[in-house]
Structure 1
Amino acid sequence: MGGSTDAGTAEDTGSDTEPLVTVVVTTYDRPSYLLDCVESVLAQTYEPIELVVVDDCSDTPASETLADVDTDSLAAYRCVRHGTNRGVNAARNTGVEAGTGTYVAFLDDDDRWVPEKVERHVEAFEAADEDVGVVYSGTKAIHEDGAREELPPRIDGDLTKALLCRNVVGSMSVVMVRADLAREVQFDEEFEAWADLEWFVRVSQRAAFVRLPEALVVYEYTSHGRLSDDFEKKRRGYDSFLDRFDGVAASYGRPFRRKMRAWAAFRAGSSALYTGNYGEARRLLFTAVVRYPLEPRFLAYLLASLGGRSTHLLARGLSRSLG
């Protein structure tokens, strides 16, 4: 994939009884987050783990950031660096290609895992039917006003219809996937935003999902530089998502196609609202309401956008007080 290996250790790639898990950590210019992230991998209760850190051309190479980290407990460790900044999807593809495990688990550099994360996922895989390709869990979300668990709705099996409307899985950090499936369904390196959801949809067309009823990932909404903060990329993601999956949605019938397009408009509109692009928010949220008026939150968000910053702040205050 055009990367270079900076470091690698360990020859043992697994035991006779437990499958090797490849953990792919993708990173770009967040050394302090990266250290905490990798420490959470080293603290896992499961063995054997192969850690692949993919550095997407950070100013400070990840190999330097992690130089003093003790990785002896791992079955294998390697740090791969891209020669140019190519984006998170390219980094994930590089990590999958470099790995040798039976399963692949992804971890963004500003997220952390609880110690039982990998163990619980492997247990679920080993107990699952052969058609299961992905196991996912909930998150412990850290907001400015405190922490709370966020568990996706309990949906197992074929998730395609659900994912066409909503990301019912979460971020890449909550999933573990069969390695053969990850190699078969590569990440689209041209997809700038909604990349996780886009990949989940394509994977769901080939394999079933199983959800663990636990919050096993620590996700900090206060982290800087998250892709969700960039509305222009979200706007382009909206167009790309509709272009790619409009036909898939239409195969479920015209009413569902309208519903899918409404949810896409809502995701883009809520992002516009969050980033203060109130004109775009009103337009997109109005589109969502017109296409699918049966979803109450579409109207609620539209009303919050009508007065710009003042009504948005009022709605957020009411939401916090009621929550």
Structure 2
Amino acid sequence: MPLISVIIPYYNTPLNALKRCIHPFLTQSYEEVEVILVDDCSTQQYSQSITELISTAKTSMMLAKTPHNGGQNYARHTGIRMARGTYIAFLDSDDYYDMTEFEKVIDVVRLQESRLYCFNAVAVDATGKELYMENIAHEVSGSSPMKQSIRKAAALWNWVIDANLFKQNSLNTSLRIGEDLVSIIPILANADNVIPINAAPYRYVQHLSSMMKRADTEDRAMLIKGFDTMLNEHQHELAPYRDEIEWQAIWHILFWEPLQILQQQPHMATRYYRQARAWMDNVFPQWRQNPYLLTDSLAQETRFHLITKGHYMVYRTLHSVTSLIHNIQS
């Protein structure tokens, strides 16, 4: 039985990007790993090419197809049902692993028992140039690792998760925005410990045309419904982490999503803010006293204060002036 099942959902991923993603598993043997590719009913007809590629793979690989296009988490569910590994990891099809770093992850998972492991990621551009590191393993290695894990988690792909945790927690399949966030939080809350791994195997490829940048305001507002579902279905498990989940709502619903709307659909920002603010005041009426508003460095930024308070026009003016000064100086 493999130690780790790596699940890679894909939908119309460019073939070159998909080949880059799976290349290490085609050319090298990782006996403790199995790879499960899940085609979420791509309209591009390249299943035959993928089948031929994995037929000679050095690492165990399988290809599955969903019965209909259901989104990334729906495809992940298909992979979870097929997985034989003790643990599960997720890899997006346009991203890839640095395998030297991933081998460090395998070693820790083999030698140190836990239900949950986290590792770091490096954001890169399309050429592989490193842009910045997401150092979540360091951030959760303090005195309250589970609380910090829940406070900082946003994606599924920088965790190695005990497969049994998916029997208690199903992934949210109803969202286009924030599906990772509202799926990973209950999983973390059901784990009793986490081991941070000082390795950065994940290469997160940033594209200007990513789904996040294309999503409209209605999709972003659906995150509120995702939070409602999560809070209703997991009240008991989430209760000890009230401050951390409240912080996640402040960060994502009052700050991050409005920031994206201001960049893409500024005329929709005020309407979104009214909805988001009313929801926050109802579900988290004491959110203004959240302790992380005082301790998190990101909460001290001017743009955070302006956007969470709904001062969108001031933010846009300040942003325009700052950009103009930068352009003049450069």
Is 1:38 paired with 2:22?
yes
Q: Which has the higher helix share?
A: 2
Structure 1 length as normaliser, TM-score? 0.75
| 3-state SS of 1:83 partner | coil
- Answer yes or no: is the 8 Å Cα contact 2:153–2:185 preserved in 1: no
Query: Sequence identity of aligned pairs in percent?
Result: 19
Structure 1 residues 318 and 248: CA distance shift in structure 2, 3 A: farther
After TM superposition, list the pairs within 5 Å mapping 1:96-175 onto structure 2: 96-129=80-113, 132-143=114-125, 147-152=131-136, 153-156=138-141, 161-162=147-148, 166=151, 168-175=152-159
Counterpart residue identity of residue 299, structure 1? H
After TM superposition, list the pairs within 5 Å mapping 1:1-323 onto structure 2: 19-32=2-15, 33-42=17-26, 46-69=30-53, 71-129=55-113, 132-143=114-125, 147-152=131-136, 153-156=138-141, 161-162=147-148, 166=151, 168-207=152-191, 208-222=193-207, 224-227=209-212, 229-231=214-216, 232-245=218-231, 251=239, 259=247, 261-263=249-251, 264-277=253-266, 279-280=268-269, 283=273, 287=277, 291=288, 294=294, 295-297=299-301, 298-301=304-307, 305-307=312-314, 310-315=317-322
| 3-state SS of 2:70 partner | coil
Unaligned stretches of 5+ residues in structure 2: 282-286
Q: Distance in 2 between matches of 1:127 and 1:42?
A: 26
Structure 1 residues 314 and 124: CA distance shift in structure 2, 3 A: farther
Structure 1 residues 160 and 280: CA distance shift in structure 2, 3 A: farther
The Cα offsets for residues 142-168 of structure 1, whole Å up to 9 and x where unpaired, read as 25996222212421497664455x4x2
**How big is the shift at 1:187?**
1.2
**How big is the shift at 1:49?**
2.5
Q: Which has the higher strand share?
A: 1
**How big is the shift at 1:256?**
6.8
| 3-state SS of 1:47 partner | coil
Structure 1 residues 126 and 108: CA distance shift in structure 2, 3 A: same
**How big is the shift at 1:299?**
0.8
Structure 1 residues 259 and 227: CA distance shift in structure 2, 3 A: closer
Unaligned stretches of 5+ residues in structure 1: 1-13
- Answer yes or no: is the 8 Å Cα contact 2:11–2:40 preserved in 1: yes
- Answer yes or no: is the 8 Å Cα contact 2:156–2:184 preserved in 1: no
Counterpart residue identity of residue 288, structure 2? R
Structure 1 residues 74 and 185: CA distance shift in structure 2, 3 A: farther
Q: Distance in 2 between matches of 1:111 and 1:103?
A: 20
Structure 1 residues 92 and 100: CA distance shift in structure 2, 3 A: same
Structure 2 length as normaliser, TM-score? 0.74
- Answer yes or no: is the 8 Å Cα contact 1:139–1:149 preserved in 2: yes
Q: What RMSD in Å do the two structures reach over aligned CA positions?
A: 3.8
Q: Distance in 2 between matches of 1:217 and 1:80?
A: 23
